[in-house]
Amino acid sequence: MSSRRNFLQTLGTAALTLPSIPTAFAAAVNSEPYQGPVLRVALMGLGGYAGLVARGLESCQRAKLVGLISGTPSKIKSWSQKYNIPEKNCYNYENFDAIKDNKDIDVVYVITPNALHHGQVIRVAKAGKHVICEKPMALNAREGQEMVEACRNAKVKLLVGYRMHFEANTLEIVRMRQAGELGQIRFFQGLSGFRIGDPGQWRLTKNLAGGGALMDIGVYAINGSRYMVGEEPVWVTAQETKTDPQKFKPGVDETIQFQLGFPGGAVASCLSTYSMNNLDRFFLNGDKGFAELQPATGYGPIRGRTNKGELALPHVVHQTKQMEEMAAIILDNKKPVIPVDGEEGLKDLKIIDAIYQAVKSGKKLSLNL
Ligand code: NAD
CATH number at residue 65: 3.40.50.720
Residues 219 and 353 in one domain: yes
- Do 140 and 76 share a domain, yes or no? yes
Atom 12 in ligand 1: residue holding the nearest Cα: 45
| Same-domain status, 19 and 114 | yes
Q: Is residue 204 part of a domain?
A: yes
- Dist. CA 209 → ligand 1 center (Å): 10
Do 147 and 186 belong to one domain? no
> Which of 59, 61, 75 lies closest to 25 in space, CA to CA?
59
Asked whether residue 324 is domain-assigned, the answer is no
Q: How far apart are CA 30 and CA 94, in angstroms?
A: 42
Q: Ligand 1: which atom is nearest the Cα of residue 71? A: 14
Domain boundary among 163, 188, 203: 163
Domain with residue 244: its CATH number is 3.30.360.10
Pocket of ligand 1 contains residue 112 by CB under 6 Å:
yes
CB 312 within 8 A of CB 331: no
Q: What is the number of domains present in the chain? A: 2
Task: Evaluate whether residue 323 is within a structural domain.
Answer: no
User: Does residue 180 share a domain with residue 278?
Assistant: yes
Give the CA dihedral 132, 283, 179, 217, nearest 10 degrees: -10
Pair 62, 155 in one domain: yes
Q: Indicate if ligand 1 lies below 6 Å from the C-beta of 119.
A: no
Query: How many other C-beta atoms lie within 10 A of the C-beta of residue 71?
Result: 13
Centroid of ligand 1 to alpha carbon of 354 (angstroms): 25
Of 163, 184, 209, which residue constitutes the final position of a domain?
Answer: 163
Domain final residue, candidates 114, 142, 163: 163
Asked if the structure places residue 153 within a domain, the reply is: yes
Q: Do the domain assignments include residue 329?
A: no
45 lines ligand 1 (CB under 6 A): yes
- Is the domain of 168 the same as that of 158? no
For ligand 1, whether the C-beta of 194 sits within 6 Å is no
Residue 311 lies in a domain: yes
Range of the domain at 203: 164-315+342-366
71 lines ligand 1 (CB under 6 A): yes
- Residue 146 neighbours by CB under 8 Å, 6+ apart: 118, 122
* Distance from residue 11's CA to the centre of ligand 1 (Å): 35
101, amino acid identity: D
Q: Answer whether 264's CB lies under 8 Å from 129's CB.
A: no
Closest-CA residue to 306 (of 293, 315, 297): 293
> Which amino acid, one-letter code, is at 143?
E
**Residue 206 main-chain phi, psi, to 5 deg:** -50, -45
The verdict on the CB of residue 47 being under 6 Å from ligand 1 is: yes
pLDDT of residue 349: 98
- What's the 3-state SS for the chain? CHHHHHHHHHHHHHCCCCCCCCHHHHHHCCCCCCCCCCEEEEEECCCHHHHHHHHHHHCCCCEEEEEEECCCHHHHHHHHHHHCCCHHHEECCCCHHHHHHCCCCCEEEECCCHHHHHHHHHHHHHCCCEEEECCCCCCCHHHHHHHHHHHHHHCCCEEECCHHHHCHHHHHHHHHHHCCCCCCEEEEEEEEECCCCCCCCHHHCHHHHCCCHHHHHHHHHHHHHHHHHCCCCCEEEEEEECCCCCCCCCCCCCEEEEEEECCCCCEEEEEEECCCCCEEEEEEEECCCEEEECCCCCCCCCCEEECCEEECCCCCCHHHHHHHHHHHHHHHCCCCCCCCEHHHHHHHHHHHHHHHHHHHHCCCEECCC
What is the Å distance from ligand 1's center to 278 Cα?
Answer: 21
Q: Which residues contact 346 (CB under 8 A, 6 or more apart)?
A: 137, 141, 144, 145, 148
**Other Cβ atoms within 10 Å of 305 Cβ, number:** 15
Active-site amino acid positions: 135, 220
43, 44, 46, 49: residue to mutate for ligand 1 pocket, most atoms within 8 A of CB: 49
Residue nearest to atom 38 of ligand 1 (CA): 49
Q: Which amino acid is at 368?
A: N
Looking from the CA of residue 299, the nearest atom of ligand 1 is 40
Q: In the Cβ-directed half-sphere of 309, how many Cα atoms lie within 13 Å?
A: 5
Q: Are residues 138 and 191 in the same domain?
A: no
CA of 93 to the centre of ligand 1 (A): 14
Both 92 and 226 in one domain: the answer is no
Residues 224 and 250 in one domain: yes
- Block mean pLDDT (10 aa), the chain, length 369: 37 38 48 91 98 98 98 98 98 98 98 98 98 98 98 98 98 98 98 97 98 98 98 98 98 98 98 98 98 98 97 96 98 98 98 98 97
Q: Give 2 Cα–ligand 1 centroid separation in angstroms.
A: 35
For residue 295, being part of any structural domain is answered with yes
Q: Are residues 188 and 298 in the same domain?
A: yes
CA dist 254 and 135 (Å) reads: 18
* Same domain (yes/no): 116, 229: no
Distance CA 332, CA 335 (A): 9
223 lines ligand 1 (CB under 6 A): no
Residue 55 lies in a domain: yes
215 ligand 1 Cβ < 6 A: no
Confirm or reject: Cβ of 111 under 6 Å from ligand 1: yes
